[in-house]
Amino acid sequence: MKLASVIAKLPIVSINEGEQVAIVKNLFFNRKTKKLEYLTVVENAEDVIPAILSFKDLTGIGNDFITILSIDNIKKIQANETALPVDDCISLGGRTVLSSSGNVIGEIADYEINKKTGTVSRLLISDKTEVAGDTLVTLSPKFIVVSVPDAESKADSSLDDASVSYLVGKTLTADVTSDDETFTIQKGTVLTKELVMAAEENGVLLKLTMAV
């Protein structure tokens, strides 16, 4: 296992060339498989446009270096390309973690991955909470959704301060309506603590969180 913050600082050595060829910049995970898919890399710390290195092309992740077979494993990005060629992949650092019941757990401060499989073994939340990697449900640009058992998280058993603080003051981008259509908060509404509490009581807290 290795922390992403450690991997993101490692230099890369090509075995065939016998020299350092790049430095890791960021890690990108496949949203469907939830596994590490690509690393963005730069030749030196001053580079602005990164190149792409597939996780499957890594031959080792050590304490001091990452090794690859050849410099040809690194795919250059042209200056006129507007997006990284990492379809359906996202980075995890700093994203908001949301329980499947609609409560904000916190932001990802760091995370640990399995060096062999590329899977996330645990998330380290900004308030020092740890979330097991096998609870990951959804990876999206807006939220990382996890399924955390009620017995292991007060965030799933009641509406906690983190959830309220996250939602209060935000503006809805879509109408939020309960399944029985007896409760609605309209698009454009600025959320108050009372509205957030009412949303939880009517079972639409997850819908509310996804609509801000």
| pLDDT by position in tens, the chain (length 212) | 999 999 998 999 999 999 999 999 999 999 999 999 999 999 876 676 789 999 999 999 999 999 999 999 999 876 555 555 566 899 999 999 999 888 889 999 999 999 999 999 999 998 788 999 999 999 998 899 999 864 344 444 456 677 788 899 999 999 999 988 899 999 999 999 899 989 988 888 888 988 98
**Final residue belonging to a domain, choices 55, 84, 113:** 84
The domain boundary, picked from 84, 116, 136, lies at 84
Do 114 and 147 belong together in one domain?
yes
Same domain? For 12 and 74 the reply is: yes
Number of continuous H segments (helices) and E segments (strands) in the chain:
5, 17
Report pTM: 0.73
Task: Give me the domain span that covers residue 196.
Answer: 159-212
Shared-domain flag, residues 175 and 211: yes
Q: Cα–Cα distance between 42 and 44 in angstroms, integer?
A: 5
- Count of structural domains within the chain: 3
Instruction: Return all residues near 116 (Cβ < 8 A) that are at least 6 apart.
Output: none
Do 65 and 21 reside in the same domain of the chain? yes
Neighbours of 161 (CB within 10 A): 9
